């Protein structure tokens, strides 16, 4: 990259799966003083065009099989000066045709390069290391930049005994994509601490993940709940010996039933963590305090199903109506964070004003915090069902539904109602070859929730739509079913 004229501060983008060339770029780009911009390959063409241009990327490193993603936008990327195809040799037949951009193959460039002797980057700790863009549900994605200091401290936090405790004797497999918040910072931590790292490549299936974890004796694996639901399905069909000491689950709330399945059926601890693109992402981690070890098994599970306690190094508060909310486990408010690896603005974006205040990040997540400091997400502010002036937590309803032995996935959204403003609708995917009725779901919920919380209907689907990083796409359900309760013909 130095021979291509890359300078300090230049943005260098990667459009790649979890593979070793991508891992090499994770370190080469920041050590040159350039800015690593990991591009989400699951974004729309319009969003890809927007973020590459907004970041003003000079170089693109792209997996060969992902080149077709650039075809619709290749003539509209004015800042890109060089394309590096992450492969052995250049295949001109597959390369984009753009006279303004030079094209090279990754391995050809390496073969031509000379080693950098006694290289000392001498980078200021507050210089930029990388940037990611949020996966937007409305509007354009928002850019978040990370400093060398922030990523170094975040990496240290990943090695703490009461977080993921990544160490030299671990074999770590990030299933979370390397284009999503730097694979939760795992590549930086794993390599720094000397752990082995297993990269599962493009679009691994649950069967691929189980095979890799078994063959490579993976001790720590990380992914979103939908990944572990798929893995659980495979393990239920065919028991497989695993060496896991921890499954790290984040990205969205882990259902208690999923935690119970991994720990009781598969004998694998499942740890729940919470964060955002803006928090690099680690913010809270759910570990049971030693003082709570005397609680019943069900009470312990209830605590470990929360988003956990604040990671050392950060500050946290709960806000509602411009006031701090007490940590009593009942009062709801918006989570705010501040700290050395928490963003305090968006990259060249006027939306900064709505999301940051006096250095605090306003997450948009509604939560309660217990007197012990355990955060429990109630909902996103946009996902709360606001019925008759009261709040209904879609997350609480989802977790209870997913505890049913015949349910594979569940989502709850609020849709317009002529009298109550909004009412909840439940969407349920049954497990394979299982039968379940609406009455079964309502009866299950009736045991734990007041009548006015119960969904107005239960709709059975073959699959719940998901975002580019595997979260439930509730907005799509809200749009599709926005007239469901107001249609007089229903």
Domains of the chain, each with CATH number or no CATH: 11-123 (3.40.50.980), 147-379 (3.40.50.12780), 385-480 (3.30.300.30)
pLDDT at position 118, please?
Answer: 76
Cis ω before 134 (30° cut-off from 0):
no
Q: Which residues are catalytic?
A: 134, 278, 386, 391
pLDDT at position 466, please?
Answer: 85
Q: Tens-digit pLDDT profile for the chain (490 aa)?
A: 888 999 999 999 999 999 999 999 999 999 999 999 999 998 888 899 999 999 999 999 999 999 999 999 998 999 999 999 998 877 755 666 665 678 999 999 999 998 887 777 889 999 999 999 987 656 789 999 999 999 999 999 999 999 999 999 999 999 999 999 999 999 999 999 999 999 999 989 999 999 999 999 999 999 988 899 999 999 999 999 999 999 999 987 788 889 999 999 999 999 999 999 999 999 999 999 999 999 999 999 999 999 999 999 999 999 988 999 999 999 989 999 999 999 999 999 999 999 999 999 999 898 999 999 999 988 777 787 888 767 788 888 998 999 999 999 999 999 999 888 899 999 999 999 899 999 999 999 999 898 989 999 999 999 999 876 677 888 889 999 999 998 776 6
pLDDT at position 395, please?
Answer: 85
What predicted TM-score, i.e. pTM, was given to this entire model? 0.82
Tokens of 304: 């470990």
Per-position DSSP letters for 389-452, written without gaps between them? TEEE-HHHHHHHHHTSTTEEEEEEEEEEETTTEEEEEEEEEEPTT----HHHHHHHHHTTS-GG
pLDDT at position 95, please?
Answer: 62
From residue 203, alpha-carbon distances to 178, 190, 206, 400, 483 in Å are 12, 22, 10, 30, 35
pLDDT at position 188, please?
Answer: 98
Q: Supply the angle between the helices 148-158 and 186-193 in degrees, to the nearest 10.
A: 70
pLDDT at position 114, please?
Answer: 86
pLDDT at position 137, please?
Answer: 57
Q: Helix, strand, coil: what percent of the chain each, to 5?
A: 30, 25, 45
């Amino acid at each position: 990259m130095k021979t291509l004229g890359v300078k300090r501060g230049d943005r260098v983008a990667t459009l790649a799966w979890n593979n070793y060339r991508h891992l090499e770029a994770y370190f080469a780009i920041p050590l040159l003083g350039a800015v690593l911009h990991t591009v989400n390959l699951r974004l729309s063409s319009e969003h890809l065009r927007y973020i590459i241009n907004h970041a003003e990327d000079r170089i693109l490193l792209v997996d060969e099989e992902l080149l077709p993603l650039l075809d619709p936008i290749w003539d509209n990327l004015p800042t890109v000066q060089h394309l590096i195809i992450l492969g052995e040799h250049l295949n001109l037949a597959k390369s984009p045709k753009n006279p303004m951009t030079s094209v090279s193959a990754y391995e050809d460039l390496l073969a031509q390069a000379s080693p950098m002797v006694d290289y000392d980057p001498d980078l200021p700790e507050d210089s930029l290391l990388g940037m990611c863009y949020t996966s937007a549900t409305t509007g354009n994605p928002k850019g978040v930049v990370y400093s060398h200091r922030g990523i170094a401290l975040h990496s240290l936090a990943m090695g703490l005994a009461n977080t993921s405790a990544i160490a030299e004797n671990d074999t770590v497999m990030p299933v979370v994509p390397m284009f999503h918040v730097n694979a939760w910072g795992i590549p930086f931590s794993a390599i720094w601490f000397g752990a082995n790292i297993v990269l599962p490549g493009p679009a691994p299936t649950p069967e691929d993940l189980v095979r890799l974890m078994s063959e490579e004796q993976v001790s720590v694996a990380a992914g979103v709940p939908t990944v572990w639901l798929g893995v659980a399905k495979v393990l239920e069909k065919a028991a497989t010996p695993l060496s896991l000491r921890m499954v790290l689950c984040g990205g969205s709330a882990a259902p208690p039933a999923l935690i119970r399945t991994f720990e009781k059926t598969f004998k694998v601890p499942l740890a729940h963590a919470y964060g955002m693109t803006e928090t690099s992402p680690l913010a809270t981690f759910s570990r049971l305090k030693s003082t709570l070890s005397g609680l019943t098994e069900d009470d312990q599970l209830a605590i470990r199903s929360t988003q956990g306690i604040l990671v050392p190094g950060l500050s946290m508060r709960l806000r509602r109506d411009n006031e701090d909310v007490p940590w009593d486990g009942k009062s709801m408010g918006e989570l705010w964070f501040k700290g050395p690896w928490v963003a305090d603005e968006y990259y060249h974006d006027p939306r900064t004003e709505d999301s940051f205040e006096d250095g605090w990040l306003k997450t948009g997540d509604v939560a309660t915090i217990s007197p012990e400091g355990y955060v429990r997400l109630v909902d996103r502010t946009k996902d709360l069902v606001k019925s008759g002036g009261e709040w209904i937590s879609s997350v609480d309803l989802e977790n209870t539904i997913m505890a049913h032995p015949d349910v594979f996935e569940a989502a709850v959204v609020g849709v317009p109602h002529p009298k109550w403003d909004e009412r909840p609708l439940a969407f349920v995917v049954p497990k394979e070859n299982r039968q379940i009725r609406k009455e079964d779901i309502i009866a299950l919920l009736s045991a734990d929730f007041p009548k006015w919380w119960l969904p107005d209907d239960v709709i059975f689907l073959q699959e719940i739509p998901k975002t580019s990083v595997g979260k439930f796409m509730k907005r799509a359900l809200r749009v599709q079913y926005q007239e469901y309760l107001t249609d007089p013909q229903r």
